[in-house]
Chain A
Amino acid sequence: MPDHANAEAVDALFRNDAFVVDIRRQMLRFATLQLGNADLAEDAVQEALIGAMKNARSFARRAAFKTWVFAILKHKIADQLRARQRLVPVHRLLDDEQASDDEIMDSLFKRGGPWRREQRPQHWREPDEAMQDQHFWETFESCLEHLPGRQARAFMMREFVGLETAEICRELSITVTNLNVTLHRARLRLRECLENHWFAGDRRS
């Protein structure tokens, strides 16, 4: 792969576009905060942008592209932190990711598997109407942003980019079972978030 040529092309494209310049600045701020190192942050942002550009055509909406590129960035940062886990105290991002992976099932289901009463799916009012509403899409975006990095990335690869499970497993270096678990949890979380913040409320919150 001509990585350098690719990087330059992406770089040139991004410098010409106020939208991406803005995204890049936000990504750098986020990555620097998480990694505590400007050089590593720069690398992670660059890699995430290049990774995101591979599937850029899957995104007609800019908000969707932004969510996508941040999902990749979080994934890169988690990889970085994992790699130097023995050198520094375990980082908050990684803690959160693992904890939330384990906790979501316990928070939704009782021991043995039935829904907790207060977590049972409710009737969703008028999804078609929601899709016409800009406020709904802001809610949707914010629910996606609150997914743990790996879940967000797997979900978006599957549902935004439309990749098959085998491709996603290759890309993320995980087993099919692992992907199934990850997608299941991502969908449970998104469903819950959308219901709580939109579909079940009397009024939008």
Chain B
Amino acid sequence: MMSCSKATRLISEGQDRDLTATERARLSLHTMMCRSCRRFESQMNVLRTLARTFAGTDQGADGNDPEDADRP
């Protein structure tokens, strides 16, 4: 079976490209049996949301002008 370090590498790559069918199959076989990597996988999705929110690109539609928001 695939190791955890390899599984996390594939999960990371899955954020940047489409994994092949074989990669997806091997990965889900691993995560099915490994709670740590299952958590890692869902936390990577959280991390992406956090990064986008931090950069502010998720908040563009709320009408606030961040340029002025924290002006002293």
Give residues in A with beta carbon < 8 Å to B: 18-19, 58-64, 105, 108-109, 112-115, 120-124, 127, 131, 137, 140-141, 144, 155-156, 158-162, 165, 179-181, 183-184, 187-188, 190-191, 194-195
Contact = CB atoms under 8 A, between A and B. Distances in A.
9 contacts: A64-B54, A113-B3, A113-B5, A121-B37, A124-B39, A160-B55, A162-B57, A165-B17, A184-B12
A184 B53 CA distance: 20
Given A58-B57, A122-B39, A115 B4 contact: yes
Contacts of B36: 115, 120-121
Nearest to A162: B57
Contacts of B70: 19, 62
Given A19-B71, A123-B39, A180-B16, A113 B4 contact: yes
B20 to A, nearest CB: 14
Contact of B50 (A63, A140, A188): A140
A61 B66 contact: yes
Interface in B1-27: 3-6, 8-9, 12-13, 15-17
A184 B50 contact: no
B32 interface: no
Main secondary structure of the interface of B (DSSP, over half): helix
Contacts, number: 111
B56 A60 contact: yes
Contact of B52 (A105, A159, A179): A159
A124 B46 contact: yes
Contacts of B71: 18-19
Nearest to B60: A60
Contacts of A112: 3
Nearest to A60: B56
B59 interface: yes
Interface string B34-57: 001101100110111111111111
Nearest to B13: A180
A160 B3 contact: no
Contacts of A183: 12-13, 15-16
Contact of A121 (B6, B39, B54, B55): B39
